[in-house]
Amino acid sequence: MKKYGQLIVVCGSMYAGKSEELIRRARRALYAKKKVQVFKPAIDNRYDEEHVVTHMGVKHPSIPVKQASDLAKLIEKDTDVVCIEEVQFFDKSIVDFIIQLADSGKELVVAGLDQDFRRQPFGPMAELLSAADEVIKLRAICMKCGRPASHTQRIINGKPAKWNDPIVLIGATESYEARCRACHQINSPKLRK
């Protein structure tokens, strides 16, 4: 009988609890005596170079990788569960690789921002969401009004970021806020259609 694989995508805005959920699932698999490997993009060194760290300081060991192709060299054959943090920072080649791993019988838990600060699909996330067996969309609390928040507001010098600003800017509370649809803003003369 073929080994059962699956792809679980945990997504949402900043401060929604994505890293907490990834860590929870990794630890639950470890309790079940499964072999787990956790990876994160090397670019995300906000809190720690070799751990996935929540904004509240909960840590779990991880292996930093520079690009999606590095994963193929590092995932061990007997690994049951592969967890990938901040998957939106990887290039689109990660999609086919993740699907192949799931098809081969591995359980994949990937976490990332489903939208960038402009509310556009972030990197490979749209394709991963469509290929997922299970999607867990988490919401934060709007840091402006207190309603449920699904969007990430980038703040630069106290003002909303401009539409043309670079998509990737590693940061935390100094650069980002969770916002509801009504409170989210883009500093741009361009109207979105």
pLDDT at 25: 96
User: What was the pLDDT predicted at 97?
Assistant: 96
Instruction: Identify the active-site residue in 86, 127, 134, 174.
Output: 86
pLDDT digits (tens, 9 = 90+) for 14-27: 999 999 999 999 99
Lowest mean pLDDT: which of 3-7, 148-152, 174-178, 186-190? 186-190
pTM of the model: 0.89
21 belongs to the catalytic site: no
Residues 66-123 have pLDDT tens digits of: 999 999 999 999 999 999 999 999 999 999 999 999 999 999 999 999 999 999 999 9
* Ordered domains of the chain (ranges, CATH): 6-139 (3.40.50.300)
Please report where in the chains the tokens 């997504």 appear, as a residue: 11
Question: What average pLDDT does range 150-164 have in this prediction?
Answer: 84
Closest to 107 measured CA to CA, from 186, 9, 7: 7
How many of the other CB atoms lie within 10 Å of CB of 167? 13
The shares of helix, strand and coil residues in the chain, as percent rounded to the nearest 5, are 20, 30, 50
